[in-house]
Amino acid sequence: MVLKLYVSANFGGGGAIVAMVLAEKDISYETIFVNLAKKESKTPEFLAMHPFGQVPLIDDDGFILYESRAICRYLAEKYADKGPALLPTGLKAMAIFEQAASVESANFSPALMKVAMEALGKPRRGLPVDQAVLDEALVGFSEKLDAYEVILGKQKFAAGDELSVVDIFHLMYAPALASRAGIDIMTKAERPNVTRWWNELIARPAWVKLQAEGYKVATES
Ligand SMILES: N[C@@H](CCC(=O)N[C@@H](CS)C(=O)NCC(=O)O)C(=O)O
């Protein structure tokens, strides 16, 4: 049975990174759109799959999994031999991978979310952007990127010299800062290593195709 990916219709967030792993691995899937505004993720049927009533979620032949990063890791492991490896092997490489995964969820993502809430979330809800709040959030996020500049000065990707799912995790909300809010914080001249990494990531054919076409809507087998 083809894998089912439950997402909201707007391409982005956790759904985008799951779709990116599927694209990198060239895995067929069927997209099921969940209308969050209509509370379709809060029905008893959906809550039986996901107690928090959120997307993304996958149904892989009856195996239900939620949390976008966990889904990405599952897919990378399941399809290890297809496309780029996306997960390292070996004790120390795996430890560095776990370190990078924690850095993304504990440092990058919370700081980014403060920027995204103000610069993307508020306009989407028809609310005015508070420039002082946005400026403070940008300072906080810049400090995280300064640390990334050091890390990426020593290695090509977030978890070492190979692309991994951790790099893909960073595609959850950061691309929309430039494309939707005109904030080019990921490609500042003073952070050449972050810029190199970021430009390489967003130029990957799988990501470029997803940007143009969004989620796959038809089932392929
Ligand atoms: N940590 C979760 C976040 C999931 C999440 O917040 N999903 C949002 C859409 S991007 C959602 O379903 N919101 C509806 C709700 O929380 O009721 C993940 O990465 O999968």
Q: How far is the CA of 9 from the centre of ligand 1 (A)?
A: 13
Distances (CA, A) of 178 to 58, 100, 116, 198, 202: 29, 23, 11, 12, 11
Structure tokens at 157: 């990707």
Residue minimizing CA distance to atom 12 of ligand 1: 54
Banded model confidence at residue 219, pLDDT cuts 50, 70, 90: low
Residue minimizing CA distance to atom 9 of ligand 1: 55
Q: What is the pLDDT of residues 113-164, one digit of tens each?
A: 999 999 999 999 999 999 999 999 999 999 999 999 999 999 999 999 999 9
Task: Write down the domain spans for the chain.
Answer: 3-85+207-213, 91-204
Q: Which residues line ligand 1 (CB under 6 A)?
A: 8, 13-14, 36, 41, 53-56, 67-68
Q: Residues near 50 by Cβ (< 8 Å), separated by ≥ 6?
A: 41, 57, 64, 66
Mean pLDDT in residue range 18-46: 97
CATH annotation of 91-204: 1.20.1050.10
Question: What is the topology classification, in CATH, of domain 3-85+207-213?
Answer: Glutaredoxin (3.40.30)
Where are the alpha helices (H) located in the chain, listed in sequence order? 13-24, 44-49, 68-78, 91-103, 109-116, 122-124, 131-152, 165-169, 174-181, 192-202, 205-213
In order, the DSSP letters of 91-102 are HHHHHHHHHHHH
Amino acid identity for residue 168 in this structure? I
Q: How many other C-beta atoms are found inside a 10 Å radius of the C-beta of residue 177?
A: 20
